[in-house]
Amino acid sequence: MLLAGESGEAPVTPCCSENGDQKKNLKEKSDINIAALVENEQVCEGTDNSDLPSCVSAFIEKEVGNDLKSLKKLDKLIEQMTESKMQLEEQVLTVSSEIPKRIHSALKKAEESKQFLNQFLEQETHLFSSINSHLLTAQPWMEDLGAMINQIEEIERHLAYLKWISQIEELSDNIQQYLMTNNVPEAASTLVSMAGLDIKLQESSCTHLLGFMRATVKFWHKILKDKLTSDFEEILAQLHWPFITPPQSQTVGISRPASAPEIYINLETLFCQLLKLQTSDELFTEPKQLPEKYSLPASPSVILPIQIMLTPLQKRFRYHFRGNRQTNVISKPEWYLAQVLLWIGNHTQFLDEKIQPILDKVGSLVNARLEFSRGLMMLILEKLAADIPCLLYDDSLFCHLVDEVLLFERELHSVHGYPSTFANCMHILSEETCFQRWLTVERKFALQKMDSMLSSEAAWISQYKDITDVDEMKVPDCAETFMTLLLVITDRYKNLPTASRKLQFLELQKDLVDDFRIRLTQVMKEETRASLGFRYCAILNAVNYISTVLADWADNVFFLQLQQAALEVFAENNTLSKLQLGQLASMESSVFDDMINLLERLKHDMLTRQVDHVFREVKDAAKLYKKERWLSLPSQSEQAVMSLSSSACPLLLTLRDRLLQLEQQLCFSLFKVFWQMLVEKLDIYIYQEIILANHFNEGGAAQLHFDMTRNLFPLFSHYCKRPENYFKHVKEACILLNLNVGSALLLRDVLQSASGQPPATAALNEVGIYKLAQQDVEILLNLRTNWPNTGK
């Protein structure tokens, strides 16, 4: 467009005609030119009008350039720009014609919306005034209607109140009529309905109605309970209840009266009727509760018929074990504990065979025997709560009480199936003051026991020393007694109701283990000069045994549960690092890890001392062997039979004697560690002090090989299949020293030509060298004196 305007000429056709190919090329390039034009226009749009000529010039320069043949493009460019101009004009006209229409339409819609809004505002004003007028007119009506509604609601409440009273009176009259006609079952059922209404009314604010309901229920409950209790006790008396003697000697169990079936029918009837009174009985009878400090688990009241059956036994218990009776001796808790166990045992058969079927028949989930035991257990708990404060500071009496209670608990749970989730004696012993005293007494007596076991004459002698199969660990009596003590302590506290109490006992056990370890260390230090003596070995066996048992306990379910409980406590108190908590949580560590680590360290120190002692003796015995003239010994062909070097005899005899001695005194696992540690030192010693310190002719190398492989190594063949594998330095040195000359020359050449390369390693492996480094092999080869004379 601009080009045409500037030139002042109309577009002209080309002066020369183009053939078909040229037209096709021009058509293909037109799109490229348009794109270039648009690009140039976009560039020009960003410039001022003063820069327009330069922009046009740049466009011409870009499209035409210095090539005159490019002028052929001008006609096509002019046409394209003309078309672009027309398109742009059309777009401008279209937009300019549509925008006013849209603006007009929007203004029109805005006017319409404004009119609608004004109409709505007028309607709102009219409605507001109408509503206010209506409210003012209806206000008196509303006040009158509200008053009437209040009156109706008041009347309805009065009516409901009267209905409740009528219902209560109706139920009360029904109970009275049933009792007059001696229809006790229906009376009991009606009382159950009345008790249900009482429970429903508990949320009501009608205190007088509640009081009336409660008084009525209580009145009839007392009458029915007294009547049924009297009849039930009469039936029990006919059955000779309670059974004071064992089941085998009970009259009812041996010779039943002729009226026995009728008695049991009446028993079932009265039991069911009393069971119906359970709901109303719970409204008036609160179960006996011990102080909160004992933290007894919540439990419902014992069912009413079982309560009545327990009454004569409760009277007997209070008569014999309270007050100034001769049977109430504070130092004899086993009397009342044994009595309760006897009563439970005497009545178990009757409860299982006669009472439990009745409960099953009425659909009750109650277990008669456990309910009976639970009632008797409350007598024990009350007695313990009263007696313990009186003997808390008498160690012997308190310890005796705890022992008897634990025996009672064990029999109660194991023989009579009493659940640990029910209230039991362990809750009383877990009370803070009593529990701390228990811990103190437990620690005191454990320490006394430790003193006595360590001072015993048989402290370091195994009880099973004459029984080989049993005495594998060679455990001294003091260690076995100590671990038995820990096991007994575990049995004593494992039934405590809370994990926190168990963890406190666990800490006591760990303290005792640490104390015993310190005592063993003290005794060990006294025996240091005789580190191969019987007592020193016994101490080492004791340390190993305790460590092994604790490691086994760490996998016990009970201690794993304690570990989880300890993890929760540590996490709450932030007493351990995240790493330690992670190890506990992942079971990588255990609750005994600290103790095991200390014991393992002590065991290692003691073993090291023994190994050092034997090694010193072996070194002293090997002095002559070190001075052997390895350079001048006759070759194997010059000897009829190879024999042990005379200078090696003291060394091998000393080694043999000490191995036999310690094999008898140490347990198998300890002795295995001992000889392996000794062999490791012995291997290095012979290699460095004997082999590397000498030169060997053919006879010397053969003699060394014979001494080692036929005499030293077999000493350890009783303890492993291939003892030479533990003497790797010595074994490989003997191989190198005894290689035939040709192989030795070849090996030396390979090592010198391929230092540090794979061929050198392969060559060493081929002759059986795996442990020694290449430099060590070269040194050993240089110790040989039987090299051939090469003339160098």
pLDDT for res 790: 57
Within 13 Å of residue 740, how many CA atoms lie on the same side as its CB? 2
Q: What is the DSSP letter of 724?
A: G
Residues comprising the chain, all counted: 792
Contact indicator for 760, 777 with CB cutoff of 8 Å: no
Q: How confident is the model at residue 667 (pLDDT cuts 50, 70, 90)?
A: very high
Strand spans (E) along 633-740:
none
Of the candidates 438, 443, 418, 432, the residue with the CA atom closest to the CA atom of residue 498:
432
pLDDT for res 23: 42
Query: What is the tens place of the pLDDT at every residue in 373-415?
Result: 999 999 999 999 999 999 998 999 999 999 999 999 999 999 9
In which element (H, E) is residue 746 found?
Answer: helix 741-753
Angle, vertex CA 762, rays to CA 761 and CA 767, nearest 5: 100
Has residue 70 got a pLDDT over 80? no
Query: What is the tens place of the pLDDT at every residue in 172-188?
Result: 999 999 989 989 889 98
Could you tell me which residue, 52 or 428, shows the higher pLDDT? 428
pLDDT for res 460: 93
pLDDT for res 249: 60
Q: Give yes or no for a cis peptide into 242 (omega within 30° of 0).
A: yes
Beta bridge partners of 784: 696
Identity of the residue numbered 763: A
- Mean pLDDT for the stretch of residues 288-305: 87
Model pTM above 0.75: no
Fold of 623-783: Methane Monooxygenase Hydroxylase; Chain G, domain 1 (1.20.58)
- Mean pLDDT for the stretch of residues 113-122: 91
pLDDT for res 76: 79
Integer-rounded Cα Rg, in Å, for the chain is 54
Q: How confident is the model at residue 294 (pLDDT cuts 50, 70, 90)?
A: confident
Among 530-534, 674-678, 717-721, top mean pLDDT goes to 674-678
Q: Long-range pairs for 583-587 at CB < 8 Å and ≥24 separation? A: 587/560, 587/563
- Mean pLDDT for the stretch of residues 125-144: 90
Contact indicator for 706, 642 with CB cutoff of 8 Å: yes
- Mean pLDDT for the stretch of residues 283-291: 79
pLDDT for res 11: 39
Here the tokens at position 17 are 């005609």
Has residue 167 got a pLDDT over 60? yes
Has residue 1 got a pLDDT over 50? no
pLDDT for res 469: 58
Taking residue 48's Cβ as centre, other Cβ atoms within 10 Å add up to 7
Return the percentage of the chain with pLDDT > 90, whole number: 59
Q: What is d(CA 608, CA 600) in angstroms, rounded to the nearest whole number?
A: 12
pLDDT for res 28: 44
Q: How confident is the model at residue 293 (pLDDT cuts 50, 70, 90)?
A: confident
Return the percentage of the chain with pLDDT > 70, whole number: 87
Among 247-256, 628-637, 707-716, top mean pLDDT goes to 707-716
Q: What is the DSSP letter of 784?
A: B
Burial of 563 (0-12, 13-18, 19+ CB in 10 A): buried
pLDDT for res 328: 92
Q: What is the DSSP string of 387-414?
A: HHHHHTT-HHHHHHHHHHHHHHHHHHHH
Has residue 253 got a pLDDT over 70? no
Q: How many contiguous H segments (helices) and E segments (strands) does the chain have?
A: 30, 0
- Mean pLDDT for the stretch of residues 753-768: 80
- Mean pLDDT for the stretch of residues 302-310: 94
Burial of 99 (0-12, 13-18, 19+ CB in 10 A): exposed
Identity of the residue numbered 655: L
Q: What is d(CA 460, CA 482) in angstroms, rounded to the nearest whole number?
A: 12
Query: What is the tens place of the pLDDT at every residue in 456-490?
Result: 988 999 887 766 555 678 899 999 999 999 999 99
- Mean pLDDT for the stretch of residues 135-163: 89
Taking residue 751's Cβ as centre, other Cβ atoms within 10 Å add up to 20
Residue ranges per structural domain of the chain = 181-236, 286-430, 442-602, 623-783
Q: What is the DSSP string of 64-114?
A: TTT-GGGGGHHHHHHHHHHHHHHHHHHHHHHHHHHHHHHHHHHHHHHHHHH
Block residue for tokens 């002042």: 8
Here the tokens at position 190 are 């009606």
Has residue 6 got a pLDDT over 60? no
